[in-house]
Chains A and B, each alone.
Chain A
């Protein structure tokens, strides 16, 4: 009896732990017909989940919707500022099959992953969206396996910022730009920089280099294609420029902000960055280039280069009970009026082609016409459910190649193998 008394707590510990483990081991799986088939006609209150509303766009938008739909109120659930935390929060709520996460804002690079997990409602039948007015490249970011899983809401593309006092006409091609670097060298400033530190930004920049040279990261069948001659030429462009000093040495530590500060301090002639730089470089007290910079599309082989795409899509959870309301809300988010609010209120680039030619908007956001060219030639980052691993394969190997530690040929061969090992075949 004494022995059993002593063992009782131990046994209890074990039992509780086993029960808890068993409870949690419900696995994620293909939910082709289950939750995706229910709640399609449901109407009622829904929740919209998005990261921190820094520029106060979502709250007025939700208020407008709620005034018009008293029986289908939208509650805005605000997540944190950090993309990683937003991703983790969404994953946890999907795993818990939370029916209260009806519509959520999904980063373009997460869309395929969530779709493959069976968490996103395919936008078919009654949920279908008219995409004819949208930029085609943004629709691609929301499409996985030929099925549309989300509505593009905001987008983002790369722009070439240049010093118009040093270079009156911007370069149209990469070779032309490299030729202009003698001007920068004479002025003892850096010539070109993007985001070359080893993080997501390097994936964006490497993908742009590869796509602009005519290569691809993944083929249409989802298989790795980085050992093609064009793909190698793209990365070689960056490696050569770094080796001969056209890309300054310190650019290997640049993320968006470091590059912006260097450009604003007049230490760079060309900078590849996102549209947000425009307002800051124009208005920052410390900016030395307020009047002397301009914008152009990224340079390519013969014409504009292929920008990578940023931005967010909005998707409906398969666990939502009010999918009819949710589908209406997606249409509302992509309507002209709301898209205008995104750009004028939050400087978030719209996904409707027509808005880029709107003179009133262009007057307020002069980067729009340039961004339009950039987005028309844009290529989405690889749409794959293994995006984090594919991105790591690209950035790790590109980093070594740009720094000159690994020859481009070898780096690309390794990148190919690493993407295959990532599960993308």
Chain B
């Protein structure tokens, strides 16, 4: 704390010796020095965050308004594109391509033609996998929360799929769903899993649910474990049925944790890349937004890829906003409330 009982540079009075309100002046000064010290202390992390988070975001937005390099037909060399306005955005959203200097609707076989279909694919995967993972994960969490012999073993083994890197999972399921693979051998079928839309999507969903359900189960389990046991005991004493206990005790009390888990999972699923990329390469309507971004980068069109990333970013941001506003998920609230309280 401050070692000077009375401030010599009191801002309020300007006079030493007769401070009308020494406490207030001292506080202002203290806050100022504390503020400066705090800025100094957080400066390194701000610089790091700026470089690794803010700079790429700003840079991507900046680039998305630049034209991609075009070919100079005289020299056969690329020339810088210059300012593009919103052309990169209309390219995706209105699916307009340029052919021979004229704007035409993107024909099949271009990345631009896949924009809306990849959005619907991404949301389809997100909705289906999140619903399945939440339902199955809830069931697993309820079982894992019980006390029984071998509970530790069960909890550890449930985590195995989550511990395997996604790329490895994808390769495993790729082999399982090959024409001569285990899936067809086991069920005696001859389905071309990666050869048409519905089986390909089903395969990716199965692989994703297999991999990510343990993560949901673990988050929900954490929520279940903070429910005090005496609530259940009291309910039991009152003769409440198991279903009523679940409906009126478990669900409301686990809801905050559940919503956070669903939010995280949704945001994660919206940027799904590795599973469809490795299992189908995006064929048969399994191209997600992230795959489209990477394909556009690989084509050398960094600026229009930046526009697409920005669109993806806005979409995911909107989804998160809807979750926070409409469903009242408080993933961040506790920290901001206390932070705001201190500041005022």
Contact = CB atoms under 8 A, between A and B. Distances in A.
B70 A423 contact: yes
A136 B88 CA distance: 41
A16 B281 contact: no
B109 interface: yes
A330 B97 CA distance: 40
Contacts of A1: 32
Nearest to A196: B195
A257 to B, nearest CB: 9
Given A197-B194, A258-B178, A385 B32 contact: no
Residue of B42, B69, B104 most packed against chain A (CB within 10 A): B69
A62 B195 CA distance: 44
Given A5-B39, A252-B195, A29 B79 contact: yes
Contacts of A399: 283
A32 B110 contact: no
A250 B71 contact: no
B163 to A, nearest CB: 24
23 contacts: A5-B39, A6-B35, A9-B43, A13-B50, A20-B59, A24-B59, A25-B66, A27-B80, A30-B78, A31-B77, A117-B69, A145-B75, A199-B283, A253-B195, A385-B78, A388-B295, A388-B300, A389-B110, A389-B299, A392-B110, A403-B196, A414-B107, A417-B99
Contact of A21 (B31, B43, B55, B283): B55
A271 interface: no
Residue of B42, B100, B104, B107 most packed against chain A (CB within 10 A): B107
**B contact residues, range:** 35 or more
Contacts of A418: 107-110, 113
Nearest to A8: B39
A154 B193 CA distance: 36
8 closest Cβ pairs, A-B complex: A418-B109, A417-B107, A30-B77, A145-B76, A27-B80, A198-B283, A421-B97, A396-B109
A87 interface: yes
B80 A116 contact: no
A116 to B, nearest CB: 5
A392 B50 contact: no
Given A16-B55, A87-B298, A417-B107, A250 B192 contact: yes
A17 interface: yes
B62 interface: yes
A12 interface: yes
B109 A392 contact: yes
Contacts, number: 171
Given A8-B39, A392-B295, A28 B69 contact: yes
A9 B80 contact: no
Contacts of A356: none
A422 interface: yes
Contact of B299 (A9, A118, A386, A406): A386
Given A29-B80, A396-B109, A397-B109, 13 more contacts: A2-B35, A8-B39, A13-B54, A16-B47, A21-B59, A25-B62, A118-B77, A197-B281, A249-B195, A388-B298, A403-B196, A414-B109, A421-B104
Nearest to A393: B109
A145 B192 CA distance: 43
Nearest to B299: A388
B236 to A, nearest CB: 54
A423 B112 CA distance: 13
Nearest to A398: B109
B123 interface: no
B111 interface: yes
Contacts of B47: 12, 16
Nearest to B61: A21
Interface string A85-125: 00100010000000000000000000001011110000000
Interface string A238-256: 0000000000011011000
B108 A396 contact: yes
Contact of A9 (B39, B63, B193, B283): B39
B46 A13 contact: yes
Given A17-B50, A418-B108, A30 B55 contact: no
A20 B51 CA distance: 8
B58 A253 contact: no
A116 B195 contact: no
A182 to B, nearest CB: 22
Interface string A71-97: 000000000000010010001000000
A425 B192 contact: no
Nearest to A400: B108
A5 B32 contact: yes
B78 A29 contact: yes
B42 A9 contact: yes
Residue of B42, B70, B104, B195 most packed against chain A (CB within 10 A): B195
A304 B102 CA distance: 40
B36 A198 contact: no
A261 interface: yes
A200 to B, nearest CB: 10
B279 to A, nearest CB: 11
Contacts of A261: 180
Residue of A116, A386, A415 most packed against chain B (CB within 10 A): A116
B70 A32 contact: no
Contacts of B97: 421
B319 interface: no
B108 A32 contact: no
A78 to B, nearest CB: 21
A385 B98 contact: no
Contacts of A12: 43, 46-47, 50
